[in-house]
Chain A
Amino acid sequence: MINNKIPEVNDALLSAPGESVRLLINLTGLYILWSGLLQVAKDSGLIDAFAKKIYRVTKFLFPELPKDHEVHGLIASNMAANILGLGSVATPLGIKAFEEMKKLNDNKDTASRSMITLILINCAGFTLIPTTLVSLRKIYGSEDPTKVLPIVVLITFFASICAVIIDRIFNHFNKDKISKK
């Protein structure tokens, strides 16, 4: 209204809902694929085996989760998918991990501590292969498309460390609030 963009806003309002359904149809296909393959991995014991291997790391990041639970394997798989730059694989894994965390959480409406930790690690987005970025740079004529790679790896690594620290700080203050009540 301020800058005479009413026709554009009208277009956006009318086309965006359809666009979101189209996006979801694509996502559904990917979720079917990866949730299906994840179930294969679970039933063949791969996730449990991975959970045992990675337990030291996930125990440090998620101290409230019980030992020998498959959720450790799901978390680790989610992080591995992100590190390899496979965003569409990471999402169903993360959701699955969230479902297990919800089962372990007493309060079914509220985010648990582990959920927020996983969200923040995902946000920091530690990655070794930013696939889309490199291919976009190539398409738009960069002379050295992969030059940004080491910098992105470095920044996301630091951001992940910051994420863990920020997570701990927030938890610390939240704990104070609860104990004061």
Chain B
Amino acid sequence: MDITVYIIPILVALLLAYSLHKKVNAYESFIKGAKEGIKYSIEILPYIASMIIATAVFKGSDFLNTIVNFIDKNNFINIDLITLMVFKPISGMASTATLIEIFKKYGPDSYIGYLGSIISGSTDTTLYIITVYFGAVGIKNVKHSIKAGLLIDLLSFVFAFIAVKILLF
């Protein structure tokens, strides 16, 4: 059994036990917080929708394949890894789908499979996080967060390549 299955139930049980100990009306607090949860999700809907639509069109048009094939006629770069690296910062769903394609095509224990695993595990959905966090509280000017966030992703990709080369193959 996976230990991760226990984390959430244990955390929730501890929290409720603590609130009982502190004599807080947990139900009223929960309702109050839940109302805010709904507020957030309505705030972020337009941002999420526009992002998902753009990602779907981009994916459907196969634009990425066309560009990579145009630049790289000898298939030097692995197109599936490029797809993963492009989609990972944008959408968790799209990048998970790509990782599954990689696992099916090459197997999770191949060089590409390991690289894909580590790339997808080591970075987060940068643009999605920026969209949701800033969108939820209504901030328009995000300053250098996109630039800096993508730079960190790029660094993680480089670390992933180095780690797989040195530690696994």
Residues of A within 8 A of B (CB): 2-3, 5, 8-9, 11-13, 15-17, 19-21, 23-24, 27-28, 31-46, 82, 84-87, 89, 91-92, 94-96, 98-99, 102, 108-111, 115-116, 118-120, 122-125, 127, 129-137, 140-145, 147-148, 151-152, 154-156, 158-159, 162-163, 166-167, 170, 174
Give the residues in chain A near B30, CB-CB below 8 Å. Answer: 36-37, 39-40
Q: Is the CB of A31 within 8 A of B41?
A: yes
Partner of A44, one of B19, B123, B134: B19
Distance in angstroms between the alpha carbons of A12 and B143 in the assembled complex? 31
Our count of residue pairs bridging A and B at CB distance below 8 angstroms stands at 279
Q: Is the CB of A148 within 8 A of B118?
A: yes
Partner of B29, one of A33, A39, A167: A39
Q: Is the CB of A32 within 8 A of B56?
A: no
Say yes or no: A133-B117 contact (C-beta < 8 A), given A20-B52, A44-B24, A151-B163.
Answer: yes
B93 at the interface (CB under 8 A from A): yes
Q: Can you name 17 extra interface pairs (CB under 8 A) apart from A31-B41, A143-B109? A: A2-B63, A9-B61, A19-B56, A32-B34, A37-B33, A40-B15, A91-B129, A92-B37, A95-B137, A108-B138, A111-B139, A119-B130, A151-B122, A151-B163, A159-B156, A162-B155, A166-B148
Distance in angstroms between the alpha carbons of A155 and B33 in the assembled complex? 35
B68 at the interface (CB under 8 A from A): no
Distance in angstroms between the alpha carbons of A151 and B122 in the assembled complex? 9
Give the residues in chain B near A145, CB-CB below 8 Å. Answer: 108
Q: Is the CB of B152 within 8 A of A129?
A: no
Chain B contacts with A in 83-100, Cβ cutoff 8 A:
92-93, 96, 99-100
Give the residues in chain A near B93, CB-CB below 8 Å. Answer: 23
Distance in angstroms between the alpha carbons of A137 and B30 in the assembled complex? 36
Distance in angstroms between the alpha carbons of A46 and B62 in the assembled complex? 49
Distance in angstroms between the alpha carbons of A162 and B109 in the assembled complex? 29
Task: Bits for B18-32, please: 1 = Cβ < 8 Å to A, else 0.
Answer: 110110111001111
Distance in angstroms between the alpha carbons of A135 and B67 in the assembled complex? 33
Give the residues in chain B near A152, CB-CB below 8 Å. Answer: 118, 121-122
Q: Is the CB of B41 within 8 A of A129?
A: no
Chain B contacts with A in 1-43, Cβ cutoff 8 A:
2, 4, 7-8, 12, 15-16, 18-19, 21-22, 24-26, 29-34, 36-38, 40-41
Closest B residue by C-beta to A2: B66
Instruction: List the 9 closest A-B pairs by CB distance, nearest first.
Output: A39-B33, A35-B37, A31-B37, A12-B60, A125-B124, A140-B103, A16-B56, A36-B30, A12-B56
| Residue of A86, A142, A167 with most chain B CB atoms under a 10 A cut-off | A142
17 A-B pairs whose Cβ atoms sit less than 8 Å apart in the complex: A13-B53, A31-B40, A36-B37, A44-B24, A44-B29, A46-B18, A89-B8, A98-B139, A115-B139, A116-B143, A119-B129, A120-B152, A123-B124, A142-B113, A145-B108, A151-B163, A158-B159
